[in-house]
Amino acid sequence: MNKDFNTAKSNKDPNESAKKVDKAVAEVFNDKGLNLRAVNTLCRERNITKEEIIEIIAQPVKEACIEALGAYSDVKVTLTMDKGKLTVKSSKLVVDDVYDDAEEISYSDAKKINSRCVIGDRIMADVNPSEYTAEAAYAAREALTKSFHEKELVEAISCICEEKNINPEVILDAIEAALTAAYRKNFNSYENVSVTINRQNGKVVVMAKKQVVEEVYDDQEEISLEDARNINAVYNYGDIVNVEVTPKNFGRIAAMTAKQVVTQRIREAERGIIYSEYNGKKDDIVTGTVSRIERGSVYIDLGDTEVLLSEKEQPKGEIYEIGQRLKCYISSVKSDMRSTQVIISRTHPGLVRKLFELEVPEISDGIVTIKGVSREAGSRTKIAVYSEDPSIDAQGACIGPKGTRVQNIGDELRNEKIDIIKWSEDPAEFISASLSPSEVISVEVDEAKKSAKVIVPEQQLSLAIGKSGQNVRLAAKLTGWKIDISSAAV
């Protein structure tokens, strides 16, 4: 996730662009205000306007200047929109002799500002830039860095969600909920706060609902009428006011929380998407590519997820290579709080059934029906087929012209032998056919016990039983009957 999160940013050279942005942010502010050369670099590299930059830094710069000039009276800070010039003035008393330049201005200097002033007047005069430039520059850098990180957050979430087919609102809503909880925990807040993320610029804002009261006893839940009307003049006693209470250091908490939530929610969403997609493909075939092999386990890349083909789901004797394309059967899909597991198999009888459905049009069209499949993967399979239409040769349709259809399926199963059996409602006839390729003389069935006694020619006995009893074992599994075989000589 961290790789996705950090790379889903821009098509530009990330290293070169980052260096230019870092240098421009470091030099964006000086004693005269904005450094226009640095501003132009930011506008070009971050696709942002000068007006947007000023809007981002204006309030933090003003607050930093006012805080730096705490000894001054009635400080006024302006940051002009045209050239980004910073002007800081404070109210000073006009005097003959200056003893405190934070509060006083000489009569001669005051006359240069206002020719009509007299001793004892108060006048708004410029403050020496050296007294606030460092603080203002730091505030500007912090504000820009925070804004860029917030915007990158939204852009990264948007890119990742688009790539993984996830609704961004799911992620952003979860981040807002997590940030609200984080604020309450870290700032000992009440339940009256909420955190919102601007969907365009990523700005994180903490808002508190406060009631307008005559006298404030709890500033976390109450606000004076004067302060409320500074926000909006329409407020009156008893009204609920939304007040921004975003802490200055909340950006770090927001960034850490956001990454954790994004990682968690994307994993959850991916699990849900994978489960929904592959649960719908249960009992079907998927085609993938062997991506890696570790200690006998084969990992198959299905495009949107990687699944494990465990050793027990691999036919004996099959050898796999990296990059090899394989068809696998989805036997089940499991999901829990930690992961979604797509269980695939190449040993399941369903793989053979689905391969015949893909290869034989008569089966997919419903003309020929597969009645049963018994299989010992990697060695031999018996499949029973039937058609309601007497003019249709069900076995011939599955074999195909010159055996091409069954040959293609055999190739996919790495030359596994396949016996195509004609299904019959008559148990004796079906059992006889299931023992192919052995000839059968007679079949005596006991329907009560669902068992059958089969007589075969003496020279066919070993063929009917098969190597290690495989042929009769597969026949019994296919028919559902217990089969006892003996030769005609007995």
d(CA 333, CA 287): 16
pLDDT tens readout for residues 1-60? 444 544 444 444 445 656 776 777 787 877 677 787 888 888 888 888 888 888 888 888
Among 2-11, 86-95, 125-134, where is mean pLDDT lowest? 2-11
pLDDT of the residue at 7: 46
Average pLDDT, the chain: 85
Average pLDDT value for residue range 78-95 = 77
User: What pLDDT sits at residue 48?
Assistant: 83
More confident residue, 29 or 284: 284
Mean pLDDT of 340-352: 93
Contact indicator for 117, 156 with CB cutoff of 8 Å:
no
- Is residue 176 within 8 Å of 197, Cβ to Cβ? yes
Task: Give the model's pLDDT for residue 330.
Answer: 94
What confidence tens digit (pLDDT) does each residue in 354-384 have?
Answer: 999 999 999 999 999 999 999 999 999 999 9
Q: Is the pLDDT of residue 390 over 50?
A: yes
Tell me the average pLDDT across 386-393: 93
Range scoring the smallest mean pLDDT among 141-150, 229-238, 348-357, 480-489: 141-150
The sheet that has 417-422: what strands, in order across it? 369-376, 380-386, 417-422
| Residue of higher predicted confidence among 213 and 42 | 213
Give dist(CA 56, CA 58) in Å, integer.
6
Q: What is the pTM of this model?
A: 0.58
Instruction: Report residue 12 as tokens.
Output: 């530009």
Cβ-proximal residues to 481 (8 Å cutoff; 6+ apart), any chain: 427, 431, 445, 450, 451, 452
* Average confidence (pLDDT) over 266-274: 79
Q: Which helix (H) or strand (E) holds 90?
A: strand 86-95
Say if residue 441's pLDDT is above 70. Answer: yes
Q: How confident is residue 335, by pLDDT bands cut at 50, 70 and 90?
A: confident
Pairing of strands 204-213, 240-244: antiparallel
Residue 146's pLDDT is: 78
pLDDT of residue 292: 93
